[in-house]
Amino acid sequence: MISFSAVHKRYPTGYEALRGVSFDIDAGELVFITGHSGAGKTTLCKLAAAIERPTSGSVVVNGQNLAALRKSAIPYVRRNFGLVFQDQKLLFDRTVLDNVLLPLAIVGLSPKEAGKRARAALDKVGLLEREKANPIALSGGEQQRLAIARAVVNRPAILLADEPTANLDTDSAGEVMELFKAFHQVGVTVILATHDTQWVRHLNPRVLWVEHGQVRAPGERPEGQA
């Protein structure tokens, strides 16, 4: 489903954030991308979702090589993904429901069908009763669950989240992790970049450990590092 092969990413500053990364993720997997700050986790997520392009090597998603993709084809590749990224802010001048309706506007559903789908997504994340609220009135954990509802409302095959539990207390982080687990259990491919290795034992994901721009093979991770 996702295949990185000898991927290098050098930013315009000259910094090489990924240095020869190769791995495959199959449909239906639950994968944690972990590693220290600055290791390259976010860069890896951005390459998978065609937000950044590799400097060399190939990134293949559902049979399409993103490195060779025309710009005009990128929105179609993105439809495979529900993204929960820190720079994708909620709209605080709209209601909770409006935030989830927004991604549906581009797929041309009738208002009735869109409303039904958006409410179903809010129900899944436990926020249906808050549909008329302004997101500013939600707790940090609820805001993150709203971001997840917005990410899944188009029923993506892949849910890709970058540090989804950053800034959350343990209880809220647990609720968010439970949601990812639930989406994985219904067949969604779930990929999380996270420092939060305490959830590894709980969710039992496959772990890709990123270190200095390289993915370590299982067992290569130095003991005691998180």
Ligand X SMILES: Nc1ncnc2c1ncn2[C@@H]1O[C@H](COP(=O)(O)OP(=O)(O)OP(=O)(O)O)[C@@H](O)[C@H]1O
* Contacts to ligand X by CB under 6 A: 11, 13, 15, 17, 35, 37-43
Between residues 11 and 76, which has the closer beta carbon with respect to ligand X?
A: 11
- Strands ordered across the beta sheet of 214-216: 81-84, 158-162, 189-193, 30-34, 206-211, 214-216
Burial class (CB in 10 A: 0-12, 13-18, 19+), 66: buried
Residues paired with residue 32 on neighbouring β-strands, in sequence order: 192, 207
Taking residue 86's Cβ as centre, other Cβ atoms within 10 Å add up to 13
Between residues 38 and 187, which has the closer beta carbon with respect to ligand X?
A: 38
Minimum distance from CB of 55 to ligand X (Å)?
12
Closest Cα to residue 98, out of 48, 132, 74, 54?
132
Minimum distance from CB of 91 to ligand X (Å)?
24
Between residues 13 and 72, which has the closer beta carbon with respect to ligand X?
A: 13
Minimum distance from CB of 48 to ligand X (Å)?
12
Minimum distance from CB of 2 to ligand X (Å)?
17
Between residues 104 and 176, which has the closer beta carbon with respect to ligand X?
A: 176
Structure tokens at 17: 């954030």
